[in-house]
Amino acid sequence: MDPIYDFVSARTQPMYTLGVTLFTGSCCGLLCTLAAILAAVIDRRSDVQKFIDHPPVAKDDSKKEESKFIRISDVKRFPSTFWLIAISSALFYLQLFPFVTQGELFFATKYSRSPKEANTINSMVYLVGAVSMPLFGVAIDRVGRNLYFLMTRLVLGLTSHIMMTFTFVEPYVCTVILSLGYSLVTTTCWPLVSYAVPLRYLGTAFGIMGTIISVGQAIDTYFVGFIVDTAGYLVLEVFFTMCVICSMIAAALLYLRDASTDGLLNLSTKQRAVFLKHHV
């Protein structure tokens, strides 16, 4: 919102600046709501089950599953792969969103950049992501091998934070690399949930995953502020690096667990289509 505020403040009286900025943000929220309504209308008109491949429900329990109501206790039946996906995602987000929050002051302090340029550098995380996410999404849909893409985003995130911690490499390069990792976590982790849990539990699974991420962010915000106030940005970057490493460990466990079962999460697109065809 800072660029919008600066743009408005240069063209209106001070008494209107904040109001116009907030109104602009409200309009963006309204557009999101309209887009969600449009998506719901389109979804109702389409045959979703023919459009999207989902992991099968056990054959012996399929009729029984359809007749039961979903209960909170059913989450105990979620496979370990789902929990590892959620944990790996939450750990990655522990460094991403707090970094963007602290990024402007970090770039101004370490790299001696002006506030305006520091804000531009910081915004690259989302700006590049807006372009790269659809491209990565198409690539993953065509190739499959989601877990390989998952590990790639962790390598990118780790590389970015190591560069910002121990070197003075151009910060634009660091934020672009981090943005590519952010794009991959969005296009790999969330779709994987649909293959880890049965279709009827998909909404519950997404809700639980979102809760895990939100709880992590709530705790992380206070912890990051404490580190900045008491230890500085070097220690903060070390903490972010450790978050990515822990996320990488969870992803490695996910890979091993998936490989020890049916390997569905890391199949190629063609292999996954054949697998689902014979198991649905």
Predicted confidence (pLDDT) per residue in 240-261, tens digit: 999 999 999 999 999 999 988 8
Residues 241 and 194 in one domain: yes
Residues 152 and 101 in one domain: yes
Residues 93 and 1 in one domain: no
Residues 256 and 161 in one domain: yes
Residues 84 and 43 in one domain: no
Task: Tell me the C-alpha distance between 156 and 180, whole Å.
Answer: 7
Contact yes or no for 199/57 (Cβ under 8 A): yes
Q: 84-88, 140-144, 275-279 — which one is most confidently predicted on average?
A: 84-88
Residues 268 and 131 in one domain: yes
User: Higher-confidence residue: 198 or 67?
Assistant: 198
Closest residue by Cα to residue 115 from 124, 128, 105: 105
Its pTM stands at: 0.80
Tokens of 114: 């002006």
**pLDDT band with cut points at 50, 70 and 90 for residue 57:** very low
Residues 89 and 228 in one domain: yes
In a domain, 261, yes or no: yes
**pLDDT band with cut points at 50, 70 and 90 for residue 65:** very low
Domains: count for the chain: 2
Number of neighbouring beta carbons within 10 Å of residue 250: 20
Residues 40 and 98 in one domain: no
Per-residue pLDDT tens over the stretch 111-137 = 989 888 998 899 999 999 989 999 998
- Residue 99, pLDDT > 80, answer yes
Residues 255 and 126 in one domain: yes
In a domain, 63, yes or no: no
In a domain, 132, yes or no: yes
Burial of 93 (C-beta count, 10 Å sphere; 0-12/13-18/19+):
buried
In a domain, 57, yes or no: no
In a domain, 62, yes or no: no
Domain encompassing residue 38: 1-52
Residues 265 and 135 in one domain: yes
Residues 131 and 234 in one domain: yes
Residues 142 and 214 in one domain: yes
